[in-house]
Structure 1
Amino acid sequence: MSLRVIQFLAVVFTALALVPAGAHLFELPNKIDLSRDVYQTVQGVYAGWAWLGIVDLTALIMNAVLAIKLRQQRLAFSFAVTAALCFVVFFAIFFTWTFPANQATANWTAMPDNWSGLRREWEYSHAVNAVVMLVALCSVTLAVITTRPD
């Protein structure tokens, strides 16, 4: 696969990964204080979003491949590595806070007694991940524009 194709795919998949993360960030102020029943109803809109993990994993892979391809170009390489590491951080945050909240609530179809704390963890982990995804997008873009032609 050519460098240009890898660059394109890394940018596109990173941008696609930012979309749901950004959506979560921007909806947070409107959702964080909802009542238990209303919050549970609203969370239903995320049914099926687990499939978006394919985009996140593909973005991680493409950014790692880009970093490998750019290993001879120090500046571009460092930006590509940063982008790939952002996805590692993203998954660490997801599996530390978001996924356990999903599990404890059966993807928000059941509301345990500690649902409010789980909501905070779920909402704020998504908000932090939106910032992480923005850093990833900026980093991969910088990797592309600082790449020297062969």
Structure 2
Amino acid sequence: MVKAFHVFTLLLVAVAMALSLAHALELPGKLRLSREAYIGVQAIYYPGFTFGGAAEPLGIIALIILAWLMRSSGPALWWIVAALVLLAAAHLVYWLFTHPVNGFWLKDTELGQFGSTFFSLPSGDDARSWTRLRDIWEYSHVARAVLAMGSFLAAAIALAI
């Protein structure tokens, strides 16, 4: 049962990693976009990425449970703890850097009830230039991708040992 839950947890972490990695891989192309094109492109992400984004907090919860289940597993436990810390750090980067800018990009976009509530949290400062906001958003996803990839690798190593 623990192995099956470990695989399920690894899947959640993989989805969390995939979403931030997808954003990071788009960076070179998106840096070439005009303001209007960039803001237009940003709005297309939210339906799917918001739904898929649930994998990240669920992955954190699953890693906590997995750490408890593996509390006497020696080195494997420490790999799970590392995976938890890395995924939690990626999530923190989202709330500190990415989310405030999301609110700025979406302020003129009509969203559903859930999206409107979620993105009504504090948003980016209109006084900052759009390129500054773009850079915060883009590079926060690079940081998130690196952290989530580390989390995935740590969880995979724990499964292998």
> If the length of structure 1 is used for normalisation, what is the TM-score?
0.88
Distance of 1:47 and 1:21 partners within structure 2: 13
Secondary structure at 2:42's aligned position in 1? helix
Runs of 5+ unmatched residues, structure 1: none
Match runs of 1:43-122 below 5 Å:
43-48=42-47, 49-106=49-106, 109=109, 112=126, 114-122=129-137
C-alpha displacement of 1:14: 0.9
> If the length of structure 2 is used for normalisation, what is the TM-score?
0.83
Call closer, same or farther: CA 1:108–1:19 in 2, change over 3 Å: farther
RMSD over equivalenced CA pairs, Å: 1.7
Q: Contact 1:89–1:132 (CA<8 Å) still a contact in 2?
A: yes
Q: Once the two structures are superposed, what CA deviation does each residue of 1:63-100 show, in whole Å capped at 9, x if it has no partner? A: 11111111112210000011111121011100110001
- Counterpart in the other structure of 1:131: 146
Q: Contact 2:63–2:80 (CA<8 Å) still a contact in 1?
A: yes
Give the residue type in structure 1 aligned to 2:13.
Answer: T
Q: Contact 2:70–2:77 (CA<8 Å) still a contact in 1?
A: yes
Runs of 5+ unmatched residues, structure 2: 110-123
Aligned residues: 144
Q: Contact 1:97–1:121 (CA<8 Å) still a contact in 2?
A: yes
Q: Could you tell which deviates more after superposition, 57-66 or 118-127?
A: 57-66
